[in-house]
């Protein structure tokens, strides 16, 4: 089944902001005068769903409590991107680390549009339509003990769909595509023992999020989603890291169109256009080997598999199996902060493939 997952736009924006918000954290090192409070940089985007284009990011770093030398610097950021498909997004984000990293508070707002052109079996022409997203969110996490955190988030998401041709009218009727303005909230628990936030070589980062989108907050149909991942990092040899990831997202029967799980969202899995293959449930496994040949230049190889299915796990079959593999190039933008620039090319099944350009690792 090929459908659209519009929330991928919000997640793309959040991913850009998350990497940017942590660019000046160095354990045990305080920002000096050479690390400016204001940073602006161009961005390049190559993504099968969003298209190819560019934009810019502006960041402001600050410390809410100058006496707090444990917390990373807090950040406010503004991100904007535009692609050759006439898709765009603009986002404003903030992330604060408080009371010696006891509390982590984040929030933001995004406005965007994705213009879609899907080749779908059974249709005589390309299905063309647009998805418009407006969203605001806030997230609060608290360190409970050691590397364990508990938290939650809440937000409002407004999704609208616009027909582009006659095929999209049939598509909308067939899959019951409807505009949806709804509030949502989630409970979050995670463990973070990575030795570095941006380029970990050892440690574990695992998270579970239970999100509720109820009818009493405006959803066309109420539903919930359980999302979990576990990332493990193993240092094998000098400048070489094996990164492993397990991911799952599960929703109940009757989940509306905008809430289904999508293959290709973020890094699960590369090689597929986000939104073209969706179902109620998704499970994915992947491994990536990272090798910096010199201090600045590196290469990676990665592979993974995913399952998309509706209902119970008994419904998994060969038609829901999606493999992925790819190669990539890395350039270390900032050695002290371990900020990388990545360029990946990935292959999926059924002749699907895609380029991915970004700042920070895929996971």
Greater model confidence, 175 or 80: 80
Average confidence (pLDDT) over 195-216? 94
CA distances from 7 to 120, 265, 362 (A): 20, 9, 18
| Residue 24, pLDDT score | 41
What domains does the chain contain, in order, with CATH numbers? Answer: 7-359 (2.40.160.50)
Q: Could you give the angle at the alpha carbon of 342 between the alpha carbons of 336 and 347, nearest 5°?
A: 155
Give the integer Cα–Cα distance in Å for 39 and 20: 10
Dihedral sign computed on CA atoms, order 119, 180, 284, 329: positive
In the numeric block, which tokens belong to residue 259?
């809430």
pLDDT in tens, 298-329: 999 999 999 999 998 888 887 889 999 999 99
Give the integer Cα–Cα distance in Å for 277 and 148: 34
- Among residues 357, 333, 354, 43, the alpha carbon closest in space to that of 198 is found at 333
- 363 pLDDT band (50/70/90 cuts)? very high
- 337 pLDDT band (50/70/90 cuts)? low
pLDDT in tens, 93-123: 999 999 998 999 999 999 999 998 877 767 8
| Range of weakest confidence among 30-39, 42-51, 137-146, 219-228 | 30-39
Average confidence (pLDDT) over 268-293? 92
- Global pTM value: 0.82
Dihedral Cα 193, 212, 47, 14, nearest 10 deg: -60
pLDDT in tens, 213-223: 999 999 888 99
Give the integer Cα–Cα distance in Å for 93 and 79: 8
Interacting residues of 294 by C-beta distance below 8 A, sequence separation 6+: none
Average confidence (pLDDT) over 152-171? 94
Checking if the pLDDT of 4 tops 80, the result is: no
- Residue 183's CB is within 10 A of a number of other CB atoms, namely 16
Give the integer Cα–Cα distance in Å for 89 and 107: 17
Average confidence (pLDDT) over 57-71? 86
In the numeric block, which tokens belong to residue 250?
């599960």
Give the integer Cα–Cα distance in Å for 50 and 11: 12
- % of the chain beyond a pLDDT of 90: 55
Let me know: does 31 contact 24? Beta carbons within 8 Å: yes
Mean pLDDT estimate for the chain: 86
Give the integer Cα–Cα distance in Å for 244 and 316: 23
Residues 114-145 as b/e (b if ≥16 CB within 10 A, e otherwise) read: bbbebeeeebeeebbbbbbbebebebbbebee
Average confidence (pLDDT) over 249-276? 88
Give the integer Cα–Cα distance in Å for 95 and 106: 4
Greater model confidence, 39 or 258: 258
How many whole angstroms from its chain centre is CA 123?
30
pLDDT in tens, 6-44: 344 444 444 444 444 444 433 333 444 444 477 777 777
**Residues in a beta bridge with 336:** none
**DSSP letter string, 21-53:** HTTT--TT----TTS-SEEEEEEEEEETTTEEE
Average confidence (pLDDT) over 231-250? 97
Q: Which helix (H) or strand (E) holds 180?
A: strand 180-192
């Amino acid at each position: 089944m090929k459908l659209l997952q519009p929330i991928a736009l919000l997640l793309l924006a959040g991913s850009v902001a998350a990497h940017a918000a942590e660019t000046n954290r160095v354990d045990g090192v305080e920002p000096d005068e050479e690390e400016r409070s204001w940073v602006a940089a161009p961005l390049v985007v190559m993504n099968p769903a969003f298209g190819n284009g560019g934009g810019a990011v502006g960041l402001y770093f600050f410390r809410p409590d100058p006496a707090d030398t444990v917390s990373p610097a807090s950040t406010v950021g503004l991100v904007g991107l535009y692609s050759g498909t006439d898709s765009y997004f603009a986002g404003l984000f903030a992330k604060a680390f408080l009371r010696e990293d006891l509390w982590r508070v984040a929030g933001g707002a995004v406005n965007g549009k994705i213009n879609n052109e899907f080749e779908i079996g059974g249709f005589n022409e390309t299905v063309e339509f647009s998805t418009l997203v407006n969203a605001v969110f806030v997230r609060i996490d608290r360190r409970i003990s050691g590397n364990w955190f508990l938290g939650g988030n809440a937000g409002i998401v407004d999704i609208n769909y616009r027909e582009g041709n006659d095929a999209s009218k049939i598509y909308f009727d067939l899959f019951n595509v409807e505009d949806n303005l709804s509030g949502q909230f989630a409970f979050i628990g995670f463990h973070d023992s990575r030795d570095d936030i941006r380029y970990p070589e050892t440690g574990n980062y695992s998270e579970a999020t239970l999100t509720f989108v109820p009818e009493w907050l405006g959803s066309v149909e109420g539903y919930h989603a359980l999302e979990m991942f576990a990332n493990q990092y193993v240092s094998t040899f000098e400048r070489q890291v094996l990164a492993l990831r397990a991911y799952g997202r599960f929703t109940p029967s009757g989940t509306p169109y905008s809430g289904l799980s999508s293959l290709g969202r973020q890094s699960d899995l590369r090689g597929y256009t986000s939104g073209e293959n969706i179902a109620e449930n998704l499970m994915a496994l992947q491994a990536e080997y990272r090798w910096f040949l010199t201090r600045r230049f590196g290469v990676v190889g990665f592979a993974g598999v995913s399952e998309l299915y509706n209902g119970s796990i008994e419904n998994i079959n060969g038609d829901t199996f999606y493999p992925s593999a790819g190669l990539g190039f890395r350039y270390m933008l900032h050695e002290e902060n371990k900020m990388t620039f990545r360029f990946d090319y990935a292959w999926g099944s059924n002749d699907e493939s895609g380029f991915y350009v970004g700042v920070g690792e895929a996971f």
